Amino acid sequence: MDKLVGREKEYQLLSSLKENTASSFIAIYGRRRVGKTYLIRNAFNNKFEFQLTGIANSNTAQQLLNFNIAINKYDFSENHPIAKNWREAFQQLITLLEKSKSKKKIVFLDELPWLDTARSGFIQALEHFWNAWVSSRNDIILVVCGSAAAWMINKLINNKGGLHNRITHRIRLNPFTLNQCEAYFKNRSAKFDRYQILLIYMVMGGIPFYLDQIDTSQSADQNIDRLCFQQDGLLRREFNNLFHALFQKAEGHISIIEALSVKGRGLTRNEIIKAAHITNNGAATLMLKELEESHFIRKYAPFSNKEKMSLYQLTDPYSLFYLKWIKNSSELDQNNWIKQLDNPKKRAWTGYAFEQVCLEHIVQIKDALGISAIETRTSSWVGHGDNQGAQIDLIIDRRDRVINLCEMKFSIHPFTITKSYADTLATKIAAFKEQTKTKSAIYLTLISTFGLVSNSYASSMIQNDLQMDILFK
């Protein structure tokens, strides 16, 4: 198998299970294209006693037919009939596994949520398979994975029935960090500098499948133009496929994403209901939870810690880029992206996209500030009343009675604090102090691509000047 980059910890855990003295039940979840199947196949050298992949948007009969094809592929000694139900199917699997002489028998069920069709009895049959047979043995490794993160958590990991507390290991596979992206491109002998890696990340995030499509002989901008704007570009057609593969009745999820893409500061739950034109009920709550668990949106606590004021923000770089740039672009307009190298629309997008990258790398920011060991709480703040319009997207409230107010600025050159911007910062800090009544010391922290131009405003106002390099740690 190819060298695995960025998943070393998860690979080590899975590999170690082969030496366990008991059977293992591993649940792996994460959004589509994040590399779940690739990780599992690498960790177990593609050697499974049985493997089954669920079929999207299919019924129970089709899933059982698919199971039958798989069981007969792995069991040469007999021709299994199509099982009438999942209990019968798992009994056929037991028959197969009992014939095996392998020290550890690895069973891999891929896209598990797709197997659980309506009224199929799949979960109950899986419960019986584990509780009545696997749990009494020490030679089974059952690996299940799925892209529908909310299903994996609610129906499996937090199961209140027969599978309660049966999962022995859980892995949430997140998109790559910038550090992992850099290691990935280094492994491919790419010559991108950190600015180009950052730009790629701002467009497609740390999704390994998308990064696989990058041509390392082209610049970041050339790759973006080819993948996003050319007629056959992968990311031109990905958006609707992505959501419909993850969620049933995905139109509501897409409406929420579209509503959040318009408001950079984020929206409260009630604002989302209104903007997305969805009904305020349990289904809306479920959709928000599913999007959050699948790493598309973030629920962000306000500095006041009032739950009803919590903001939801769109955090998936690709979704934001698609809605801002790709959706309404013409396939006939060649070099569409490269022509936009510097215009107001692009500056607005890069500003927001860079903020979201920073918010995904708070651990690295805290480390750069030297406060990793200090208890902190991160939040945001939006002014109201006379301070309406003022906003701080990242606040780090520290136990040592210091608050870092973080400004994030994307620029192709070192950033200059002008008199006008300095006045804006001073007004924002004053409004924050007045509204929150905080007694903590305020440290203004500026995170930018290439750092600050040294001038009187920078030296008098900024306590911490952080460059994009710290995000790659």
| CATH number at 8-172 | 3.40.50.300
Query: Per-residue confidence at 12, pLDDT binned at 50, 70, 90?
Result: very high
Integer Cα distance of 285 and 157 in angstroms: 19
- Do 8-172 and 179-355 come out as alike in CATH topology? no
Query: Per-residue confidence at 343, pLDDT binned at 50, 70, 90?
Result: confident
Integer Cα distance of 187 and 183 in angstroms: 6
At residue 306, the pLDDT reads 74
- Convert the pLDDT of each residue in 180-210 to its tens digit: 999 999 999 999 999 999 999 999 999 999 9
Where are the domains positioned within the chain?
8-172, 179-355, 362-472
Give me the phi and psi of 340, to 5 degrees please. -100, 25
Contacts 24+ apart (CB under 8 A), 370-376: 371/396, 371/398, 371/400, 374/398, 374/399, 374/400, 375/399
Query: Per-residue confidence at 2, pLDDT binned at 50, 70, 90?
Result: low
Integer Cα distance of 291 and 281 in angstroms: 16
pTM for this model (two decimals): 0.93
Paired residues of 331 in beta bridges: none
Query: Per-residue confidence at 338, pLDDT binned at 50, 70, 90?
Result: confident
Instruction: Tell me the average pLDDT of the chain.
Output: 94
CA 263 to chain CA centroid, nearest Å: 20
pLDDT of 235 > 80? The answer is yes
At residue 334, the pLDDT reads 67
Fold of 362-472: Trna Endonuclease; Chain: A, domain 1 (3.40.1350)
Closest CA to 472 of 74, 135, 179: 179
At residue 111, the pLDDT reads 97
Tokens 């669920």 label which residue?
A: 54
pLDDT of 1 > 60? The answer is no
Query: Per-residue confidence at 150, pLDDT binned at 50, 70, 90?
Result: confident
Task: Look up residue 338 and give its two tokens.
Answer: 């490269």
At residue 332, the pLDDT reads 66
pLDDT of 211 > 60? The answer is yes
Paired residues of 391 in beta bridges: 382
Integer Cα distance of 457 and 426 in angstroms: 11
Contacts 24+ apart (CB under 8 A), 376-379: 377/301, 378/301, 379/300, 379/301, 379/302, 379/303, 379/305
Query: Per-residue confidence at 313, pLDDT binned at 50, 70, 90?
Result: very high
Query: Per-residue confidence at 149, pLDDT binned at 50, 70, 90?
Result: confident
pLDDT of 41 > 60? The answer is yes
Closest CA to 389 of 435, 357, 333, 422: 435
Integer Cα distance of 167 and 162 in angstroms: 11
Q: Which of 242-246, 258-262, 341-345, 377-381 has the lowest mean pLDDT?
A: 341-345
At residue 318, the pLDDT reads 98
- Convert the pLDDT of each residue in 120-140 to its tens digit: 999 999 999 999 999 999 999
Q: Are 54 and 110 in contact (CB under 8 A)?
A: yes
Query: Per-residue confidence at 301, pLDDT binned at 50, 70, 90?
Result: confident
At residue 339, the pLDDT reads 76
At residue 26, the pLDDT reads 98
| CATH number at 179-355 | 1.10.10
